[in-house]
A and B are shown apart, each in its own frame.
Chain A
């Protein structure tokens, strides 16, 4: 009941004409960046951060959340028509969706993706509405030991499940942690790994790292393996789904939502895993399994629903604990910090208008996205005709301007290029980028929480294991870390390397 009152208050905030406009701007921008290959919501929010200082935080977050959701919708368009996932979360959509498009059912694929995203997004937002306040109650009992354990679990989960191998995941994570160490240690005032460079004393801004990895690294990578003959299938056929397609889609949407939300809420790397899982589930449960591999609509409906539900799921730990579990969430956390806000249990008390306005705007944004993506899908398809040279040229100009405006220093511009170079090498060795961003933003938090926990316990590390929640979280992390090694040893004879795509 209390939640409903709060949510009603949120709608009062979200439905003001001004905030509706920000939501519209966000979802439009989000869809656009989702459609365009190479830029995603994490990069877009990072680029917008330095220029939204003057905006009031509620408006900014309504827009950012719109970008996050919009990116999930837009990603499907590129996957289906171009077989180029605009987002890592729409990789699975590309598999069946592109086959559908080639079979002349591109319209139906886009429709099931958009409607599925809407259904799952709305259900997951409702789940977020219910879960977040419960999580807040739980989070008040969290001390430094618990936060440290939570961060460790997030590190292990993100590195172990993203990308092709655990080793690659940890390489990326450690790169992020290393970047996070640079600068003045806030507890002792001692500069670390700054090598006497004054611009490094304050550490490396998450915005700078994200822009470097995602914009510059991506541009270099795209240039190095230029794809002149992308398989673009123009949109043909009706946007309407047949009765049969509806009946095959709706269960997949619901299952996708049920898989996406909880997995998104766990510290396990956002939307990629749920889409893989949803695809596998649909394949197993399908009425016509033989259609998988030839354009099965369930294979689009499930993963698309799952990725939107997961996006809502990620907001639960972000808002209630201040714990980001995906690259975009990490940037959103940086955005909160820019406004001097600390996501966590108190945010719901101190900034109810912001939090509930944001949640309410997610319902509104989902509705807007359905309208934007179904009747207007033709407009978005036209975005795909922007030639690559101009697209990446434009991205680099914006990235450079954005990086410069963080601190008004050329040094930061050089830094994003340098980090972009590293990002390019990582992509060439298929090392995932998201763990690096998570490591950068959570690393300093983990370190400080650990040192706080130890100081409060007068130096005894046992505190991490005597507090039940902390012990449980660390246990889960250990299981995730060592579990696969043990399992592999047991079933070595049976084990065959599975292809992750």
Chain B
């Protein structure tokens, strides 16, 4: 049945031009991949799209899949290799991913995907603590020219939008961006804390992170990366202040590589219908996101231009990235410490034998039995499914604890596993492997 539905959907999608798909959509399926853990911006965009597409019945079944890891590059790599030619999948991405690909030297590229549309964006704000002597960008630029290392920039993860803007500003001040003293903080306000505490000279972030503190007067916004001032946010732009820099932290969707022309058209039409709807605009307003819809050849060009620009700046920022304490200092310290403790343990263990712990003597038989159960579970999980693998693990564990009632243990194990399976997949929405047998059906 499932297979039949999928087939119909594939036929419907591949054989009809975009407007037809939009007209008869209820049988279509769509998977939106958010290459991040639930909760972040990409996940939010994916889930809002899911809700919107289903509400407007633009697609029948929409499913969001989270593939977290390495700022989205793991999700991107899977998307490129695993979904080639799949006309029913979209990947959420954005400027941050462009930066991360270069920063992590990921072997994949956004150029390998099929661009569909840019959907939202947010401009960046440069802010200083209220007590800072800097009242505008000119003053900050003067300080930069005096001693670039003395101006520390606080912002989000290295290679991300905030870091890129810091690099662009330093370059715009006529200084080699390699000398950018950028302090990367993890998200969720750590950078804001450091800025409020005066730990860094200036902070860079999307406006929403700073909003509360700018309004309360504890932070002063001195520049904004938008092309012009907006009503909501009356902050002088960087361009006004003599720095020819515009940077938008955009988010977009792309389709897999190797897509047929009609598939691409269909997906573009689908996203366009959603993006031009009243209810999508309401959603954007509710979330405080800016509509920056862009599709077709214009989006292709935009993506190419961004790639070139980001690559230029990130490759130069990377040059600085091992400043005073490199990435291997800490691991070597830890490894050295571990080696010392090992030696000390061995020396002491040889000198004074461990006193036998109180209680019954340790025996190895049960451990071997249980280890066998664990190994079988790993081997069987994807093959036979969670329930079967779990039952084997349960029986082995019980036998390690001396229970010889094999049949009863198997039944109890089966019940426990089935309960866990049903609770996880249906109650909590976390799917456990059903096993090759069930999948084949």
Answer yes or no: A219 CB below 8 A from chain B CBs. Answer: yes
CB contacts (< 8 Å) of A455 on chain B: these are: 152, 181, 183, 323-324
Most chain-A CB neighbours within 10 Å: which of B354, B357, B364? B357
CB contacts (< 8 Å) of A185 on chain B: these are: 327
Cβ B324 vs Cβ A188 within 8 A: no
The contact string, 1 if C-beta is below 8 Å from chain B, for chain A 438-457, is 00000100011011101110
CB interface residues, B 356-409, toward A, < 8 Å: 357, 359-364, 366-367, 369-371, 373-375, 377-378, 381-382, 386, 390, 393-395, 397-403, 409
CB contacts (< 8 Å) of B374 on chain A: these are: 216, 396, 417, 420
CB contacts (< 8 Å) of A429 on chain B: these are: 354
Closest to B364 in A: A224
Closest to A394 in B: B416
B8 to chain A, nearest CB (A): 28
Closest to A228 in B: B402
Closest to B377 in A: A400
Cβ B181 vs Cβ A458 within 8 A: yes
CB contacts (< 8 Å) of A222 on chain B: these are: 401
Cβ A456 vs Cβ B152 within 8 A: yes
Answer yes or no: B200 CB below 8 A from chain A CBs. Answer: yes
The contact string, 1 if C-beta is below 8 Å from chain A, for chain B 318-333, is 1001111111101100
Answer yes or no: A376 CB below 8 A from chain B CBs. Answer: no
Answer yes or no: A240 CB below 8 A from chain B CBs. Answer: no
* A interface, over-half SS: helix
Answer yes or no: B235 CB below 8 A from chain A CBs. Answer: no
Answer yes or no: A492 CB below 8 A from chain B CBs. Answer: no
CB contacts (< 8 Å) of B413 on chain A: these are: 393, 397
List 5 additional A-B contacts (Cβ < 8 Å) besides A174-B338, A387-B403: A140-B197, A223-B366, A345-B193, A389-B398, A396-B393
9 residue pairs A–B, Cβ–Cβ below 8 Å: A54-B429, A143-B199, A188-B318, A201-B74, A390-B409, A396-B393, A400-B377, A452-B185, A455-B324
Cβ A50 vs Cβ B199 within 8 A: no
B150 to chain A, nearest CB (A): 7
Contacts A181-B330, A184-B104, A397-B416 given; does A140 touch B366 at CB 8 Å? no
CB contacts (< 8 Å) of A54 on chain B: these are: 38, 428-429
Cα A406 to Cα B409 with chains together (Å): 28
Cβ A410 vs Cβ B430 within 8 A: no
Closest to A460 in B: B324
Cβ B321 vs Cβ A224 within 8 A: no
Cα A50 to Cα B322 with chains together (Å): 35
Answer yes or no: A18 CB below 8 A from chain B CBs. Answer: no
Answer yes or no: A220 CB below 8 A from chain B CBs. Answer: yes
CB interface residues, B 289-348, toward A, < 8 Å: 318, 321-328, 330-331, 334-335, 337-338, 341-342, 344-345, 348
CB contacts (< 8 Å) of B399 on chain A: these are: 389
Cβ B70 vs Cβ A188 within 8 A: no
A142 to chain B, nearest CB (A): 7
Answer yes or no: A407 CB below 8 A from chain B CBs. Answer: yes
Cβ B184 vs Cβ A187 within 8 A: yes
Cα A401 to Cα B387 with chains together (Å): 10
CB interface residues, A 171-221, toward B, < 8 Å: 171, 174-175, 177-178, 181, 184-190, 192-193, 198, 201-202, 216, 219-220
Contacts A188-B321, A223-B366 given; does A389 touch B403 at CB 8 Å? yes
Cβ B360 vs Cβ A227 within 8 A: yes
**Other-chain residue from B38, B381, B431 in contact with A410 (beta carbon distance below 8 A):** B381
Enumerate the 8 nearest inter-chain pairs by beta-carbon distance, A residue then B residue, closest first. Answer: A389-B398, A342-B188, A143-B199, A459-B324, A223-B366, A389-B403, A389-B401, A393-B394
B69 to chain A, nearest CB (A): 5
Cβ A390 vs Cβ B412 within 8 A: yes
Cα A452 to Cα B188 with chains together (Å): 17
Cβ A144 vs Cβ B199 within 8 A: yes
Answer yes or no: A422 CB below 8 A from chain B CBs. Answer: no
Contacts A170-B337, A170-B341, A198-B74 given; does A424 touch B188 at CB 8 Å? no
Answer yes or no: A430 CB below 8 A from chain B CBs. Answer: yes
Answer yes or no: B420 CB below 8 A from chain A CBs. Answer: yes
Cβ B327 vs Cβ A192 within 8 A: yes
Cα A478 to Cα B74 with chains together (Å): 42
CB contacts (< 8 Å) of B70 on chain A: these are: 184, 201-202
Cβ B378 vs Cβ A223 within 8 A: no
Answer yes or no: A392 CB below 8 A from chain B CBs. Answer: yes
The contact string, 1 if C-beta is below 8 Å from chain B, for chain A 336-358, is 01111110111101100000000
Closest to A456 in B: B152
Count of chain A residues with a beta carbon within 8 Å of a chain B beta carbon: 89
Contacts A201-B69, A458-B181 given; does A192 touch B401 at CB 8 Å? no
Task: Identify the B interface with A (CB < 8 A).
Answer: 37-40, 68-70, 74, 100, 103-105, 149-150, 152, 157-159, 181, 183-190, 192-194, 196-197, 199-200, 212, 318, 321-328, 330-331, 334-335, 337-338, 341-342, 344-345, 348, 354, 357, 359-364, 366-367, 369-371, 373-375, 377-378, 381-382, 386, 390, 393-395, 397-403, 409, 412-413, 416-417, 420-421, 424, 428-433
CB contacts (< 8 Å) of A398 on chain B: these are: 420
**Other-chain residue from B39, B334, B369 in contact with A178 (beta carbon distance below 8 A):** B334
Closest to A388 in B: B401
Answer yes or no: A225 CB below 8 A from chain B CBs. Answer: yes
Closest to B341 in A: A171
Cα A430 to Cα B183 with chains together (Å): 41
Answer yes or no: A414 CB below 8 A from chain B CBs. Answer: yes
CB contacts (< 8 Å) of A140 on chain B: these are: 193, 196-197
Most chain-A CB neighbours within 10 Å: which of B69, B342, B409? B69
Closest to A178 in B: B334
Answer yes or no: A284 CB below 8 A from chain B CBs. Answer: no
Cβ B325 vs Cβ A396 within 8 A: no
**Other-chain residue from B187, B322, B386 in contact with A401 (beta carbon distance below 8 A):** B386
Closest to B337 in A: A174
Cβ A397 vs Cβ B393 within 8 A: yes
Answer yes or no: A481 CB below 8 A from chain B CBs. Answer: no
Cβ A178 vs Cβ B338 within 8 A: yes
Contacts A143-B199, A188-B321, A216-B374 given; does A51 touch B428 at CB 8 Å? yes
Cα A340 to Cα B348 with chains together (Å): 45
Cα A443 to Cα B338 with chains together (Å): 14
Cα A198 to Cα B68 with chains together (Å): 12
B155 to chain A, nearest CB (A): 12
Contacts A144-B199, A171-B341 given; does A397 touch B188 at CB 8 Å? no
Contacts A338-B39, A389-B403, A405-B432 given; does A447 touch B363 at CB 8 Å? no
Closest to A52 in B: B428
**Other-chain residue from B328, B390, B428 in contact with A397 (beta carbon distance below 8 A):** B390
Cβ A174 vs Cβ B193 within 8 A: no
Answer yes or no: A236 CB below 8 A from chain B CBs. Answer: no
Cβ B362 vs Cβ A225 within 8 A: yes
A196 to chain B, nearest CB (A): 12
Cα A170 to Cα B331 with chains together (Å): 16
**Other-chain residue from A186, A202, A387, A404 in contact with B184 (beta carbon distance below 8 A):** A186
**Other-chain residue from B37, B189, B381 in contact with A342 (beta carbon distance below 8 A):** B189
A130 to chain B, nearest CB (A): 22
CB contacts (< 8 Å) of B37 on chain A: these are: 338
B82 to chain A, nearest CB (A): 13
Cβ A404 vs Cβ B381 within 8 A: yes
Cβ B334 vs Cβ A405 within 8 A: no
CB interface residues, A 456-479, toward B, < 8 Å: 456, 458-459
Contacts A178-B334, A188-B321, A455-B324 given; does A404 touch B432 at CB 8 Å? yes
Contacts A167-B344, A424-B367 given; does A143 touch B362 at CB 8 Å? no
Cβ B39 vs Cβ A340 within 8 A: yes
Closest to B152 in A: A456
Cβ A410 vs Cβ B378 within 8 A: yes
